[in-house]
């Protein structure tokens, strides 16, 4: 059987590997496409750099879309066409790379290279000129203000994750037995539609404080003052307890997310198992703790690790509510302050690397859970 008449055993479709000339033609198309994309990149770079050209912004945007979307489609098409002209053995080796390759390149470009560069910067001084090895890391772990930052992140992990998971699970169980299940879940899930910044603005009104002789516009002080309390700046005083007023915002936002996943997992439990347990005399608490919890343990772990990652990276809520002042700074806000406010590139990069190292094990554990449950 000739090469052109051979069939792909995995799909049953005929392959088109047809010799050297078609492969060379396909290679020429592929190289031409790469050259065209590179020329388009240089053209757009020069167009934006040349202020005298004054090209309308809409034209620049249209060109970028055509170059980006159209270029990637053309590159994929020509690369796939070239691979299909190769012998079957090479085609089967290279074709998966055509699909996965662009995503891997973007991952390397957008994640791996910036991480390596940030790590290198963390070994230099504030101006990124003098190599000072691990001095920035020693400073991070010995600076008293950074110890407060680590303490705050620990508070966020504990008191952000445990209440969110517990409330989400409790509401999921109760809502499933209610006649108003849809309405109740919609109300609990609604805060998920709000961004962290938007939630911070909303809760700024809840915690707002005015002088004692002025009307209180903050909800909490509006309830607190009539029962004899003095107006309080809830997010500024009572350190470190003021962190809990910020953690409450994330609990409010993420409980709906946890509830939806728990509700779906609970509905996946066989009703025959639950009924059999009740017929055998099991109480509702026994059914909950001895049947439901073990059945949805994978979901509980996944939700918990996801929220831990959220709380490790928390930034928006803190920066909007307090700007990281009053003993509320966390790792992400301290990184922002050191790197962009104080221009201390080395110290800020060291904080960023520590945050990255803290998140990676949790992320890896989460991905492992996904793999065990054959999510992907």
| Residue 13 DSSP code | P
Q: pLDDT > 70: what percent of the chain?
A: 93
d(CA 330, CA 354): 12
242 and 335 Cβ atoms separated by less than 8 Å: no
Instruction: Grade residue 53 by pLDDT with cuts at 50, 70 and 90.
Output: low
Q: Which of 190, 315, 305, 309 is nearest to 246 (CA)?
A: 315
Q: How many whole angstroms from its chain centre is CA 49? A: 33
Using alpha carbons, list the distances in angstroms from residue 291 to 211, 266, 267, 286: 54, 10, 13, 7
Instruction: Grade residue 97 by pLDDT with cuts at 50, 70 and 90.
Output: confident
SS3 327: coil
SS3 354: helix
pLDDT reported for residue 11: 43
Using alpha carbons, list the distances in angstroms from residue 310 to 34, 261, 363: 39, 16, 11
Instruction: Grade residue 5 by pLDDT with cuts at 50, 70 and 90.
Output: very low
Residues 6+ apart with CB under 8 A from 147: none
pLDDT tens-digit profile of 108-142? 988 899 999 999 999 999 998 999 989 999 999 99
pLDDT tens-digit profile of 198-255? 999 999 999 999 888 888 888 999 999 888 888 889 888 888 889 999 999 999 999 9
pLDDT reported for residue 170: 93
* pTM as predicted: 0.77
Two tokens at 86? 């190769």
pLDDT reported for residue 146: 92
d(CA 243, CA 253): 16
SS3 105: helix
SS3 14: strand
CB atoms within 10 A of CB 40: 17
Residues 6+ apart with CB under 8 A from 312: 153, 156, 157, 331, 355, 358, 359, 362
d(CA 302, CA 368): 10
Residues 6+ apart with CB under 8 A from 13: 7
Instruction: Grade residue 155 by pLDDT with cuts at 50, 70 and 90.
Output: very high
231 and 145 Cβ atoms separated by less than 8 Å: no
| Residue 340 DSSP code | I
Residues 6+ apart with CB under 8 A from 59: none
Across all residues in the chain, what is the average pLDDT? 87
Mean pLDDT in residue range 159-170: 94
Scanning 143-270, the segments in alpha helix (DSSP H) are: 144-176, 181-189, 196-206, 219-224, 242-267
pLDDT tens-digit profile of 290-334? 999 999 998 999 899 999 998 999 999 999 999 989 999 999 999
311 and 332 Cβ atoms separated by less than 8 Å: no
d(CA 300, CA 357): 23
pLDDT reported for residue 181: 85
Instruction: Grade residue 376 by pLDDT with cuts at 50, 70 and 90.
Output: low
DSSP assignment of 171-206 equals HHHHHHTSTTHHHHHHHHHGGGGS-HHHHHHHHHHH
SS3 124: strand
CB atoms within 10 A of CB 322: 22
Mean pLDDT in residue range 346-373: 87
Radius of gyration from C-alpha coordinates of the chain: 28
pLDDT at 21 over 60: yes
Residues 6+ apart with CB under 8 A from 297: none
């Amino acid at each position: 059987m000739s090469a052109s008449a051979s069939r792909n055993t995995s799909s049953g479709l005929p392959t088109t590997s047809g010799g050297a000339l078609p492969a060379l033609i396909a290679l020429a198309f592929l190289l031409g496409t790469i050259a065209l994309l590179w020329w388009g990149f240089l053209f757009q770079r020069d167009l934006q750099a040349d202020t005298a050209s004054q090209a309308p912004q809409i034209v620049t945007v249209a060109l970028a879309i055509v170059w980006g979307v159209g270029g990637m489609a053309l590159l994929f098409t020509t690369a796939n066409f070239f691979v299909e002209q190769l012998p079957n053995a090479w085609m089967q080796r290279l074709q998966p790379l055509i699909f996965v390759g662009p995503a891997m390149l973007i991952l390397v470009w957008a994640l791996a290279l910036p991480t390596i560069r940030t790590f290198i910067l963390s070994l230099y001084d504030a101006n990124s000129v003098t190599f000072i090895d691990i001095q920035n890391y020693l400073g991070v772990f010995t600076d008293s203000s950074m110890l407060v930052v680590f303490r705050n992140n620990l508070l966020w992990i504990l008191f952000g994750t445990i209440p969110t998971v517990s409330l989400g699970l409790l509401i999921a169980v109760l809502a499933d037995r209610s006649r108003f299940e849809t309405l109740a879940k919609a109300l609990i899930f609604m805060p998920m539609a709000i961004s962290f910044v938007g939630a911070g603005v909303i809760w700024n009104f809840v915690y707002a404080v005015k002088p004692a002789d002025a009307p209180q516009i903050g909800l909490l002080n509006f309830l607190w003052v009539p029962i004899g309390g003095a107006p309080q700046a809830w997010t500024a005083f009572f350190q470190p307890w003021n962190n809990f007023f910020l953690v409450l915002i994330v609990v409010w936002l993420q409980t709906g997310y946890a509830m939806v996943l728990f509700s779906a997992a609970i509905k996946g439990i066989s009703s025959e198992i639950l009924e059999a347990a009740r017929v055998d005399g099991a109480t509702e608490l026994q059914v909950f703790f001895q049947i439901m919890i073990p059945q949805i343990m994978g979901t509980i772990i996944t939700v918990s690790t996801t929220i831990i990652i959220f709380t490790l990276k928390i930034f928006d809520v803190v920066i909007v509510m307090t700007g990281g002042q009053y003993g509320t700074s966390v790792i992400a806000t301290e990184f922002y302050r050191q790197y962009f406010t104080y221009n201390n590139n080395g110290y800020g990069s060291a904080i960023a690397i520590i945050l990255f190292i803290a998140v990676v094990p949790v992320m890896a554990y989460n991905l492992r859970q996904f793999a065990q449950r054959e999510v992907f």
